[in-house]
Amino acid sequence: MNQLAQLKQFTTVVADTGDFQAMKKYTPQDATTNPSLILKAVQKPEYRPLLEKAVRDHHDAGIDAVMDALLIAFGAEILKIVPGRVSTEVDARLSFDTAATVAKAHHLIALYEQQGIPRERVLIKIASTWEGIRAAEVLQREGIRCNMTLLFSLVQAVACAEAGAQLISPFVGRILDWHKKQAGDRWNPDAHSGDEDPGVQSVRQIYDYYKRFGYHTEVMGASFRNTDQILSLAGCDLLTISPELLEELAAGTAPVERKLSVDDAQAGHIPRVRCDEPAFRWQLNEDAMATEKLAEGIRAFAADAVKLEALIGTATGSR
């Protein structure tokens, strides 16, 4: 078997893309999207009809309505391909507003249900700020499942699990990026690869904590820079992977071994993490990497949402 097929024996593979053809090719269980991926996709001719239909059907309702319709259109098409779930992201500009995040999630789920898609097949993606986590707590109680994104630290992960989030997406590659930038010329790639990769270590710590203390929140490693990171997390609940790296795995034939397991996690010793609001904010503040990457990620997703709105504005003639 190729490495992708071997990996699927240990881990649920998720496509990190808005490209339908890639999903059909690699047959993932689920798919994740974000404003950056949707922005990239709608600029391709083959996806232009989705944008044109959203504009045509919702032109009079304004750009926000067109944007939401476009997100749901992509999600609905994805669910025709994957057998599992699609993740649809709440606007990153709502990352510090619990009530607005809850309201947007309600709206997105209602749009999906109007298309005949049950909420069980949708994960609402929310940034792992304190306010976002509190929104997820409300939504989960209502049966709306949440995927907590932009997650870079154990304290964020613990807070998400205690809020009952369905799934978290700890970012591997962006953690590596931060450490490489901090080290500069002193960076030694050989000393920080495989099991020693700081992003890999972060996800392993979170996975072990969850399994050790019996949390049911799923761990989905995300934001990979290379297949080495992916294979070092074989056994994680889920891994969301770009088409480029899926292609590399499909071409690889080297043996893949399980790296993470519930038994190993439960056998280890991990201290409990205090996670009320003051403790959360303090621990996140003390983690420079997590603080910086969370803020940077929110800004980047917000910027791409603005670009997507501008594209919609051009299409509607409202600019």
Q: Catalytic positions, please?
A: 125
CB 254 within 8 A of CB 205: no
DSSP string, 106-160: HHHHHHHHHTT--GGGEEEEEE-SHHHHHHHHHHHHTT--EEEEEE-SHHHHHHH
Backbone angles phi, psi at 35, to 5 degrees: -55, -35
Q: Would you state the structure tokens that stand for residue 108, as one six-digit string?
A: 């997105």
The Cα 259–Cα 277 span in angstroms is 33
Q: Would you state the structure tokens that stand for residue 86, as one six-digit string?
A: 């699609």
CB 7 within 8 A of CB 13: yes
What CA–CA distances, in Å, run from 301 to 84, 151, 166, 246? 25, 14, 22, 23
CB 82 within 8 A of CB 30: yes
Cα dihedral across residues 171, 174, 180, 181: positive or negative:
negative
Backbone angles phi, psi at 197, to 5 degrees: -65, 130
The Cα 223–Cα 297 span in angstroms is 11
3-state secondary structure 251-308: HCCCCCCCCCCHHHHHHCCCCCCCCCHHHHHHHHHHCHHHHHHHHHHHHHHHHHHHHH
